[in-house]
Amino acid sequence: MPATLMMMIAHLRGTVHKLDPGEATVDVAGVGYRVSVPLDVWDELKEAEPRMLWVSTYVREDRFDLYGFADRDGQILFEELIKLSGIGPKLGLELCAVPRSLLLQAMNENNVSLLTSIKGVGKKTAEKLLVELRSLGERKPQIFMVKGMAVARGEFDQDAIAALTALGYDSATAIHALKDLPPDVKTTEERVAAALRSL
């Protein structure tokens, strides 16, 4: 049976039993579900705390994999991404860790370089992604509604992301390190230096 996305489990509500890099085990009524999550979601989880995750189930020949998201829009974005040729669950999860404000900016500015900074995304894939993301934005604009983080902030983050990925960090890790820096850290050099201190 080819790998496919199945609507088996809509969400999980339970207690975070264990955290491993990129994964969380959620205890629901005594059953532990191992769920892969984007880096930004993983960072918010704490062991022994209650949590609900929106879940997508990806079925392979020999296993079922669960992917969890903080909100329904994140789940929708993931499910739309992995429908694209060349985008599997692992890369889809990487893309979901990119703040939607930056994805929106890339769409508005036709910025291929932001997407190619993500490990596994080449120029052709990035160009196709921009087209598909715009189409998705037209059909389901709520997915890209920016909350909290101003789009303008991404203007100087792109150079910082590029600098960190050039140093060997993947884009999700770079974005994660940059997103919580105080607003007074403005230049690319300052932001890269501050991000490196937290990595």
Give the pLDDT score at 149: 40
Residues 101/149, Cβ–Cβ less than 8 Å: yes
Question: Each residue's pLDDT tens digit in the chain (199 positions)?
Answer: 456 766 678 999 999 999 999 999 999 999 999 999 998 899 899 999 999 999 999 888 788 899 999 999 999 999 988 888 778 899 999 899 888 878 888 888 888 888 888 878 888 888 988 988 888 888 888 887 654 443 344 444 677 877 787 787 877 778 778 877 887 887 888 888 888 888 8
Give the pLDDT score at 17: 97
Domains and CATH numbers, the chain: 4-72 (2.40.50.140), 98-199 (no CATH)
- Which element (helix H / strand E) includes 53? strand 50-59
Two tokens at 13? 């509500």
